[in-house]
Amino acid sequence: MAWLRLTATPGASVAAVRRLLSAFGLPQAVLAQDVASLCTVVEPAVARRLAAPPDAAMAALIDRTLAWLAQSGHAMVTLADAAYPARLLDLADPPPVLYVNGNPAMLSRPGLGIVGARNATAQGTRDANTFASAFSAAGLSVVSGLALGIDAAAHAGALAGPGGTVAVIGTGADIVYPARHHALAHQIVDAGGAIVSEFPLGTPGLPNHFPRRNRLIAALARGVLVVEAAERSGSLITARLASEIGREVFAIPGSIHAELSRGCHKLIRQGAKLVESATDVFEEFADLAPSLAPVAAKPARSRDRARRGEPSGGACKPVADASRTPRNDGQATGPLAIPSDALGAALAYDPVTFDALCERSGLTAEAASATLLQLELAGAAERLPGNRYRRLA
């Protein structure tokens, strides 16, 4: 447990640990040094803690970790292990220790990161799920952070294919955060994926842990796709870190009026590749071609399909023809997924207030409300905060 003692000692940052390993060798050799020697590399307080015998808290952590490692499917991977993922060495501060729940080999498989907003829209979660399914079907793992919104949709989509998924978390590997993702975490491990953390067991989800988690997502992946993000977002941190270590960055564009599109648009202006389909991502990874499933021709844009009256594909199911949108006079018109009456003309991909919809369409509030409810249930429209609506692809 020398690796655990070295990395879990209070005050021993990743940078300090790296200096100690460079100066003295493996952790056993570091812990064998006296205070004076250690003080040449780290602060005196840290040196004294490392030179002293384990205190009660450290002893309890060691016992807890040993018990956790004794359970099937749990592993500790260190910088000295052959199983340590080489891509993490591209970081200026690769974590000395990784705690893995699941299959450690997943950390070294070719993968793509998918990140985005926690408060994602229905369309955003759909897009994340669809892209993740396509990546996994092509044999690529999907790397994300097990957070609400885009992360959860990406993990779920990846579970549908052979590529699998890796969840990088900002807590100890024995904690699922948020708690509502317990079932998803079990599904990831049961499907042969992995949940990985650099933090000792029992570490809570503190705010400063998640930017550190993001750098691991960026490094483990060959490229990072940002699905939805506000202009100031942790997803943009992940994208920046990915770019700094030579990873490809991709972004899905959206409405100029949508807050969660502004971060993606910012990335595109900075050089991220605008993507509309998984094919756009695969085009950047010719070296992975042998491991990829045949890629179909790039599909028509969803909005163009909608204009032609074709189903958009992906996770959005076409609506049965029997579902009709009521006119103001109560007569039926075309399918709900592609409304063609006055309300359909007023309902765009940009958010529109309910009052504006009524005014533009000439419908009464009751008729508009009933039609919008049918569209929501059919997955053809989405209600947003502020009593606004928009059409879905």
pLDDT at 340: 41
Q: Tell me the pairing of strands 97-102 and 194-197.
A: antiparallel
User: Cα dihedral sign for 168, 174, 179, 182?
Assistant: positive
Domain boundary among 240, 268, 291: 291
Question: Would you say 103 and 125 are in contact if contact means Cβ atoms under 8 Å apart?
Answer: no
Q: Which domain holds residue 329?
A: 302-391
Do the domain assignments include residue 324?
A: yes
Do the domain assignments include residue 92?
A: no
Do the domain assignments include residue 89?
A: no
Alpha helices in 138-199, H assignment, sequence order: 150-158, 182-190
Do the domain assignments include residue 95?
A: no
The shares of helix, strand and coil residues in the chain, as percent rounded to the nearest 5, are 45, 15, 40
* Residue keyed to tokens 């340590």: 84
Question: Could you tell me which of 90, 100, 104, 99 has the C-alpha nearest to residue 8?
Answer: 99
Residues 170 and 260 in one domain: yes
Residues 34 and 178 in one domain: no
Residues 283 and 315 in one domain: no
pLDDT at 341: 65
**Would you give the distance in Å from CA 311 to the centre of its chain?**
27
Residues 28 and 113 in one domain: no
CATH code of the domain in which 366 resides = 1.10.10.10
Residues 337 and 266 in one domain: no
- The pair of three-digit structure tokens given for residue 22, joined into one six-digit string: 């460079």
How many CB atoms within 10 Å of residue 247?
A: 22
pLDDT at 326: 34
Report the distance separating Cα 81 and Cα 343, nearest Å: 62
Residues 349 and 326 in one domain: yes
Question: Could you tell me which of 6, 96, 17 has the C-alpha nearest to residue 58?
Answer: 6
Residues 143 and 213 in one domain: yes
Residues 187 and 261 in one domain: yes
Residues 286 and 331 in one domain: no
Do the domain assignments include residue 175?
A: yes
Question: Would you say 333 and 340 are in contact if contact means Cβ atoms under 8 Å apart?
Answer: yes
Alpha helices in the chain, H assignment, sequence order: 2-8, 14-24, 27-31, 35-39, 44-51, 56-69, 122-137, 150-158, 182-190, 209-220, 234-244, 259-269, 278-282, 302-308, 342-346, 354-361, 365-377
Question: How many domains in the chain?
Answer: 3
Residues 225 and 174 in one domain: yes
Question: Would you say 74 and 68 are in contact if contact means Cβ atoms under 8 Å apart?
Answer: yes
Do the domain assignments include residue 281?
A: yes
Question: Would you say 204 and 182 are in contact if contact means Cβ atoms under 8 Å apart?
Answer: no
Domain boundary among 244, 262, 291: 291
Question: 187-190: which pairs have CB atoms within 8 A and are 24 or more residues apart?
Answer: 187/159, 188/102, 188/155, 188/159, 188/164, 189/73, 189/101, 189/102
Residue 76 to residues 7, 107, 169, Cα–Cα distance (Å): 12, 13, 15
Domain boundary among 258, 291, 324: 291
Question: Would you say 129 and 252 are in contact if contact means Cβ atoms under 8 Å apart?
Answer: no
Do the domain assignments include residue 77?
A: no
Residues 176 and 241 in one domain: yes
Do the domain assignments include residue 3?
A: yes
Report the distance separating Cα 350 and Cα 356, nearest Å: 12
CATH code of the domain in which 37 resides = 1.10.150
pLDDT at 381: 81
Which amino acid, one-letter code, is at 174?
Answer: D
Bridge partners of 251?
Answer: 226, 274
Mark 317-341 as b/e (b = at least 16 C-beta within 10 Å): ebbeeebbbbbeeeeeebbbbbbeb
- In order along its 393 residues, the chain shows pLDDT tens digits of 899 999 999 999 999 999 999 999 999 999 999 999 999 999 999 999 999 999 999 999 999 999 999 999 999 999 999 999 999 999 999 999 999 999 999 999 999 999 999 999 999 999 999 999 999 999 999 999 999 999 999 999 999 999 999 999 999 999 999 999 999 999 999 999 999 999 999 999 998 899 999 999 999 999 999 999 999 889 999 999 999 999 999 999 999 989 999 999 999 999 999 999 999 999 998 776 545 544 333 333 333 333 333 333 333 333 233 233 333 333 333 333 334 467 777 777 677 888 888 888 888 877 787 787 778 767 778 877 777 788 776
Residues 135 and 222 in one domain: yes
